[in-house]
Structure 1
Amino acid sequence: MNKLDFARVCVCLLLLLVGTVSHAQNNVIDEVVWVVGDEAILKSDVEDERLQAQYEGRRFDGDPYCVIPEELAIQKLYLHQAEIDSVTVSEQAVLQEVETYTAWLIEQIGTKEKMEEYYNKTSTQIREMLRENMRNKQIVQEMQRKIVGDIKLTPAEVRNYFSKLPADSIPYILPQVEVQIITLEPKVTEEEKERIKSELREFTDRINKGETTFSTLARMYSEDPGSARQGGEYGFMGRGQLVPEFANVVFNLTDTKKISKVFETEFGFHIAQLIEKRGDRVSYRHILLKPRIDQKEIDEALAKLDTLANDIRKGKVNFDDAATWVSQDKETRNNHGLLANPQTGTARFEMGQLSSLISQDVAKVVDGLQIGEVSQPFTMTTSKGKEVCAIVKLKNRIDGHKATITEDYQRLKSIVTAKRSEEKLQKWIVEKQKKTYVRINPEWVKCDFKYPGWIKN
């Protein structure tokens, strides 16, 4: 029996099982609407996806009962290949995404009870549904990256692609800004540092005495939003994924029953506990506490920046040199304080990008500046959750315009790269369809599918 015959047998058994359960209860509990390979897509799967999309405000290009099953079928193709290729993702990363999304849902809907009512499921069932969805989504993304590989484009290929586009198809580039920044970190008093360290030592004592567990204290007190809900746990991490100070501690832990000494990183103060080591990767749990900054120290840092800004405006010092020698922002001070856009690899930001990728505080200040103007000092929260004081300079503002090769090469290159990636994935799906058994419930087959190869003659 070949694989295709085996898949057909599995389908028949699956349909028989669903029909038997329904008949026994004289009620349709669920319905198999598609089968891809030996995997079923149920009507309830489609409904769950439709409810989630509806709440996210997603609009479908067509009938949701056609679009969603096809999307799920494509996902099945990727997941099947991922299983063959042993593509996996971090369970911890999955759990983090589930917790983040669940918190967003509750915030949007209002309460946990309303969320349960909306989905007609308990919060535990919703989390399990999301956990499966998030895991599958991450695996699909990894599989897509593997299929696409490394796409390399020459400037000539980018120019050639856009030279053939009709004028009305050339992308419009929204207004952009280039921004320089100087930051100062308000000092943390020795008394505050000692208070934090004392609290962490108390946690260690309570764990060692058996009064509580590390995970319980992490859930209650840790200020790391990425791990607190999971009891301070992260999945297996390589040394290069951690800041050096943190890696030096957790990679030197050898006893899973012992707690590390209190140590400091740029995020704050920590204690950590080893869970398991596998080769050059380590799994751990930790508790992070962040020192509170006294308003007096914030005021002093703002005053220093105010004096510096005035000196820059008077020409006593230029912003580039001040950023190099004064700024405490490690990521920009060696580039004269110039902020870099991680999405494009350039120094240009659309205002929405500046807000989401750097800081809403920075975006608000920059929005009111003229080119070359230096801002008043202000406080901001960095992407690492640290409160700092800053001044910024608007180096340049680029008006919205039709994209050109000379001005927007990196943006245009990313568009062509995305196009090539999509073409590779579409070709892969078409080829995978040909090798995969597909059965669609007759009541669900009258659709204008994006990939017509689902229905085989």
Structure 2
Amino acid sequence: MQLIQTILKYTVMNKMLLLLILGTFGLQAQEVVTADSTGVVKSNDSLMVVKPLAKDSIKPFKRYKAEGVSAVVGEFVILDSDIDKAYVEMKSQGVSIEDVSRCQLMGKLMEDKLYAHQAKQDSIMVPDAEINGMIDQQMQYMISELGSEEKVAEYYRKDNIADLRKDLFEVNKNIKLANLMQQKIIEKLEVTPEETRTFFFSIPEDERPVFGAEIEIAQIVVEPEVTEKAKQDVISKLNQIRADIIDNGASFSTKAVLYSKDPGSASKGGLYTGVKRDSPWAKEFKDTAFSLLEGEISEPFETDFGYHILYVEKIRGQEVDVRHILMFPEVSQESIDKAKTKMEDIRNKIASGEMTFAEAARQFSDDKETRNNGGQLVNPVSFDTKFDLTKMDPTLSAQVYNLTEGELSKVITDRDYTGKSKLKILTVTKKYQEHPADYVKDYERIQKLALREKQIKVINDWQNDKIDETYISINQDYQDCEYAGNWLKKSN
């Protein structure tokens, strides 16, 4: 059906937007830096920091004019090289570019600039401190990959690091403005039950979407006991590191690289920037960060993740930049064996019918997030209890793929992202076979599709309204493109 195709097509292009505009500046390990008409890169080099692409590894495309102006949207300029870079960014993120034309990317870039332009017109503000925090993260990553500030500046064809930071500031700010503007357009949109019903029954029966197979999963987790001696050993190690830094001038950053078990910050010298009081950090972490003066190092303290020492590198108003070293106690083989025996006993009680899986989870599970809900897992993407078998975490999928509904897995030895061992048993509480959309059974999914259609319409209407009142100039090379919006301002 044309309607579903429109939603799916918009979703694909929106994923491109997220990759090109939002995903680039996250805290992921494969962080890259997007540059556009601000001139951060004034050549046709790949922007991949981690692994630049070979020239023959991307789809060839016709060039027009080196650094030629392709379009102007309000106060923003789009260069031909911006489109080239967009192709490289998509390729580096694993997005197929086979069917993506320069015209499509031009339309997407113009949309982005329109959002940013209108955000400024609507006085949407982005705190400089927030942008500087993003830049600090990017700079730390680039320095860790290229070796020094001088090499980073040289790579991006800048005379010095200050010039690069200045350009990155504008890039980041415009990206954030565009994001906030788009959120503002659709933030209050809702769909009523009647709108959902009308949406669904307007789709011909043979064209309704097919929903894939899904399962609901529950777990019981038992963590091996950590002895008091093991705790004291790790605290002593952290105190030794702290003393070496304070008394002998050792580098906190170097110590973090060598000893921290935090995979998200160890390679960056333990650095986290822009920590706020309302950030989703452990309470003990935030309390410690905001109790220290700039340059101070904390005593060892404990969170659910392990034991830390923390160094306050910079205080910027209500935000702090910190470095930390995370360590956790060693778990003995004796503790692991005791946990395994306990888990086998729990499994036997469930299998014999002595107690239900949910009762056992509430009584025995060490996992705080699931035990009170009978061990039921929540999908971190959709925030409901259903997992699409084709999209779930590969490790979890392999552990439950062959289980029938109600069947218990064997005792599994697992490790979390910090490397700590834990034992668990899993069960599939419900299986849903692949099926055509059903209005009653799939109401929530259908409601989301209906809302998505409404958002698309509102965004398209908003775009066309703003296009009419915004100065737009498009180079002759792109005059023959078919755009979703009326960018050429043709009369109907």
- TM-score normalised according to structure 1 size: 0.79
Between 290-299 and 43-52, report the one with greater CA deviation.
290-299
Q: 1:374 aligns with which of 408, 412, 421?
A: 408
Q: Matched residue pairs, number?
A: 411
Q: How does 1:172-321 map to 2 (within 5 A)?
A: 172-209=210-247, 211-231=249-269, 232-239=271-278, 241-253=280-292, 255-274=293-312, 275-276=314-315, 278-279=317-318, 281-321=319-359
* Equivalent residue for 2:116, pick from 79, 87, 98: 79
Paired residues for 1:15-164 under 5 Å: 30-59=67-96, 64-83=101-120, 84-87=123-126, 91-92=132-133, 122=155, 137-164=175-202
What is the CA deviation profile of residues 236-283 of structure 1, one whole-angstrom value per residue up to 9, with x for unaligned ones? 323352222222322322x1121111011111111112331634x544
Give the structure 2 partner of residue 346 of structure 1. Answer: 384
- Greater CA drift, 417-426 or 212-221: 212-221
Contact 1:372–1:395 under 8 Å retained in 2: yes
Q: CA, structure 1 residues 242+405, in 2 after alignment: closer, same or farther (shift >3 Å)? A: same
Distance 2:357 2:215 in 1: 17
Residue 48 of structure 2: aligned partner: none
1:423 matched to 2:461? The reply is no
Measure the CA separation in 2 of the matches of 1:124 and 1:294: 53
Residue-by-residue CA offset, 1:36-74 (whole Å, 9 max, x unaligned):
122211122111111222344434586622112221111
Percent of pairs with identical residues: 30
Question: What SS does structure 2 have at the residue aligned with 1:321?
Answer: helix
Q: Sort the Cα spacing of 1:176 and 1:41 in 2 relative to 1 into closer, same or farther, 3 A.
A: same
Structure 2 letter corresponding to 1:316: E
* 1:400-445 Cα distance to aligned partner (Å, 9 max, x none): 1112222122222222222222222222221221122111221232
For residues 305 and 332 of structure 2, the distance between their equivalents in structure 1, rounded to whole angstroms, comes to 17
1:148 offset after TM fit, Å? 1.0
Compared CA separation, residues 277 and 452, structure 1 to 2 (3 A) = closer
1-side partners of 2:440 and 2:417: how far apart? 32
4+ long deviations beyond 6 Å: 97-103, 127-135
**Separation of aligned partners in 2, 1:130 and 1:60:** 26
TM-score (normalised: structure 2): 0.74
- 61 and 164 in structure 1: CA distance in 2 versus 1, 3 angstrom threshold: farther
Taking a change above 3 Å as real, the CA distance of residues 396 and 140 of structure 1, as seen in their structure-2 partners, is same
User: Which amino acid letter does the alignment assign opposite residue 145 of structure 1?
Assistant: Q
What is the CA-CA distance between 1:96 and the residue it aligns to?
A: 5.3
Q: Secondary structure at the match of 1:233?
A: strand
CA distance in 1, matches of 2:193, 2:253: 52
Q: Give the residue type in structure 2 aligned to 1:402.
A: P
> What are the ranges of 5 or more consecutive residues in structure 1 without an aligned counterpart?
1-13, 19-27, 107-111, 114-120
1:412 and 1:98 map into 2 onto residues whose CA distance is: 43
- Provide the rounded CA distance (Å) in 1 between the counterparts of 2:256 and 2:156: 22
Output the amino acid matched with 1:35. V
Q: Counting helix residues as a fraction of each chain, which structure ranks higher?
A: 1
Judging changes above 3 Å, is the alpha-carbon distance between structure 1 residues 395 and 148 closer, same or farther for their aligned structure 2 residues?
Answer: same
Q: Which blocks of at least 5 consecutive residues in structure 2 are unaligned?
A: 1-37, 43-64, 148-153, 159-163
Q: Decide whether the 8 Å contact of 2:261 with 2:327 is kept in 1.
A: yes
SS at 1:204 equivalent:
helix
